[in-house]
Amino acid sequence: AYVTRVGEGPFPTELHGDEGEHLRKLGGEFGATTGRPRRCGWFDVELLRHAARVNGLTGLVLTKLDVLSDYETLPLGHAYRRDGKTLDAFPACGLDEIEVEYENMPGWNSDISGARSWNDLPENCKKYVEAIGKWTGVPVKFISVGPGRDQTIVL
């Protein structure tokens, strides 16, 4: 439900400083073997839309949705800009030079780890999931609300 990256390279929606550290701690985003901190950022719809086109995705699985329960607002990166102009195609290069356009989605500020069906989720959580499916053009088919097997919801 958010983006992580290991190592160097462009990461348009990356969170820096305290914001990035907060999300990293909430999500336990540290390498299993090395303990190295992962880079964390807001969901990048444009990146996923490109991956869906290139790979022919027919469904999405959103994991760690429960990690976002702490936020009042959830920015979704839905488009890229360069030189003040919105790009109409995924850039072949220069990702480190683009600006991200965000849609601020309302958070749900409640623990969703006990949810076992779509109907158990807060409305704002449902809207977040639906927005990702709408903007990517690929339906979300599964979500996870915790690390347990019983915390995966089939949509």
Asked whether the predicted pLDDT for residue 92 surpasses 90, the reply is no
Are 90 and 50 in contact, with CB atoms under 8 Å apart?
A: yes
Q: Which among 56, 54, 57 has a CA at the least distance from the CA of 92?
A: 54
Asked whether the predicted pLDDT for residue 109 surpasses 90, the reply is yes
> How do residues 20-71 score in pLDDT, each as one tens digit?
999 999 999 999 999 999 999 999 999 999 999 999 999 999 999 999 998 9
What pLDDT does residue 26 have?
A: 96
Q: Give the strand pairing for 60-62 and 140-144.
A: parallel
> How do residues 139-152 score in pLDDT, each as one tens digit?
999 999 999 999 99
Max CA separation in the chain (angstroms)? 46
Residue 87 — very low, low, confident or very high, per pLDDT cuts 50/70/90? very high
Domains and CATH numbers, the chain: 3-154 (3.90.170.10)
Are 20 and 40 in contact, with CB atoms under 8 Å apart?
A: yes
* pTM for the structure as a whole: 0.93
